[in-house]
Every structure is written in C-alpha cells, then in structure tokens.
Structure 1
Amino acid sequence: MVSEAEERRQRSLLALGLVVLMAADLVLAASDHWSVFFAGVALWGVHMGITQGLLATMVADTAPADLRGTACGFFSLVSGIAMLFASVVAGLLWDRLGAAATFQAGAGFCVIALIGLAWRAVARPPRG
C-alpha cells in the first residue's frame, strides 16, 4: 500500500505532466514555424518523461500483488483504446478545423483532466 505522502507526490507529478502537455499543445498551436515546432516537440517529450513511468508505477501500486501483471495489461489495453479514439477525434478536428484547433482541443482536455485530478484529491476521504 502506498502512503498518503506518496499519493500526493504522484498526483503532483501527474499534474505537472499535464501542465507540460498543455504547454506543448499551446506552443504547437501558436505557430507553424520549425523552431516553434521543435520547442513544442521538446515539451511533449518532457511530458512523456514525467508521466509514462509514473502511470506504470501508479498502476502497479494500486493493484494487488497477485494481479499486477493483469492490471498492467488491462491498463495498456484501455490506454490503446483511448489513444485510438483520441487519434480519430484529433484527425477529424485537424481535417475540419486545422492543426491549431487540434492542439487547442488537446490543451482543453488537459484542463479537464487537471480539474478531475483536483476534484478526486478533494473528494477522497482521508485514510485512517
């Protein structure tokens, strides 16, 4: 079981990762110049560095020891389905509204995720 302090640290890192992803999306939406593009890609890479290992750790910490492999596999399945859906939505937005709107929508989804993360932290009863 993970301590409350560790859960807070993980939530903080996840929130930081979402903020960095939102910044990457906004940078990529701002301009089509190559230097801006590379700045956005660099921020996206920082986001991936913050969140990918963290998400795997959060899954492993949450699952019972005898189901960790199953939990990681199920997480990967759900992540893949979510990425497929997100890619379809992004493709439709890009086709209909352009690249900037696609990245702006991504930043908006980051805001929604941050609100959900904050709401969950407030709504969760203290352990004891």
Structure 2
Amino acid sequence: MLAITASPVAAQATVDTSLAARLVGSWTVDLRPTPDAPAYDKEFVIETVTGRDFTGRFYDTPIENGKINADWGEVHLSFVSRDGSGPYNHAAVLKNGRMVGQSHSLGRDFLLVWRAKRLVPATNK
C-alpha cells in the first residue's frame, strides 16, 4: 500500500518577493451581479504580503485570513470579509495583471463572480 501525505513544511514555503510587487496596491473590483448589469466598482486594497499571508481591505471591510498560493503556476488568493449578514469567502486568481475571483456569501445565499484591475500600484517611499 502506498501512502501519500502533504508536508506541512512544504506548505509553508515562502512566496517570491516579486509577488508582493504584483499584488500590493489598490485594485478596482467590478461586483456587478450579472454580466449584462452595469458596472459596480469597489476598491480592493492589498496592503502587505508576508510569506503566504496578506492584509488589506475589500469593499471597505478588513480582510481576514488572507492567503496566497503560487505553487500551481498561477497566483491564487483567498480571504474572508464580513458584513451584517456574516462572512464572505473570497477566492481569486491573478492572470496577466488582472484578477478573476468569486465571493460566496453564506448569509445572503449567493455566489458572485468578479473581475479586478490594478488601480494604483504600491510605491516605494
């Protein structure tokens, strides 16, 4: 019998520092409910990237548990935000300098597909 286990050490690998340069900054997220609806833009700010963790704000609320995985040839993000209805689970992939993501609200019972483009990259001070 063959047993395959995931190594916790491998899961803690450090994300390339150039990744922070591609993510940190302000993004405009189009949260329209359907493809034919008018654009509904909100700000997504990634403030810090440390290893596989990130912090910031999404739709004017703090990001919780921001995680990054770049092990599959693309940059994948996941995080949680909250409003009065409860938590929202978000996931996105960075492709060609843009994000394609989804937000799942348990309290409001919906899954929203969204796209984001870079508004303002971070600047070195």
Q: Shorter-normalised TM-score: what interval?
A: under 0.3
- Structure with a larger share of its residues in strand: 2
- Structure with a larger share of its residues in helix: 1
So what's the TM-score if we normalise by structure 2? 0.24
So what's the TM-score if we normalise by structure 1? 0.23
By relative contact order (CA 8 Å, sep 6+), the higher-ranking structure is: 1
Structure number with larger C-alpha Rg: 1
